[in-house]
Amino acid sequence: MSGPSLKKQDAHSSIHEASLNEAKELNELFRLCLQKKQKEKAFQVAEVLVEHWESRTLKHAEAEEEGLYIEMVKENPALHHLVMQLTRDHDLMRRIVEKLKVQLSNNDINEWMLILMDSLVVIDSIHNEDEMNKLLKNTNDTN
């Protein structure tokens, strides 16, 4: 069973928005470190950013997959295809985070990491819109 706020569109949207805004801020900080050739600081920011994606967005994704998505499909089997798409978004984000972790383990701090970080933001933004506008559009805060 999912947490109560996952089915409440406003609360769920707030969770997404806060996490995504933090990621955008970290991306910008990483970008500035690269521009200033501050490799050690960029490495530290990248570590924080990876931890952020793992502990915030991907943990949230796991909760959605183990609870919300299952419940929503049980209530409305027509949502199965959409849930598969949303789960694929999560999988893409997990794969990108793993690529970032490999680069960190190799101490390979570069522009490619920034592209990966920005890709996470783009995927998550689209994912969040689909969740709010397609999956949760018929729920309300009384659920």
Q: Where are the domains of the chain?
A: 4-135
pLDDT, tens digit (0-9, with 9 covering 90-100), for 8-22:
777 788 888 999 999
The model's pLDDT over 100-140, given as tens digits with 9 standing for 90+, comes to 999 999 999 999 999 999 999 999 999 999 999 999 986 65
For 34-93, the pLDDT digits (tens) are 999 999 999 999 999 999 999 999 999 999 999 999 999 999 999 999 999 999 999 999
User: What is the dotted CATH code of the domain comprising 4-135?
Assistant: 1.20.120
Kindly indicate the confidence band of residue 3, based on its pLDDT and cuts at 50, 70 and 90.
low
Instruction: Quote the CA–CA distance of 39 and 42 in Å, as a whole number.
Output: 5
- Provide the pLDDT for residue 95: 98
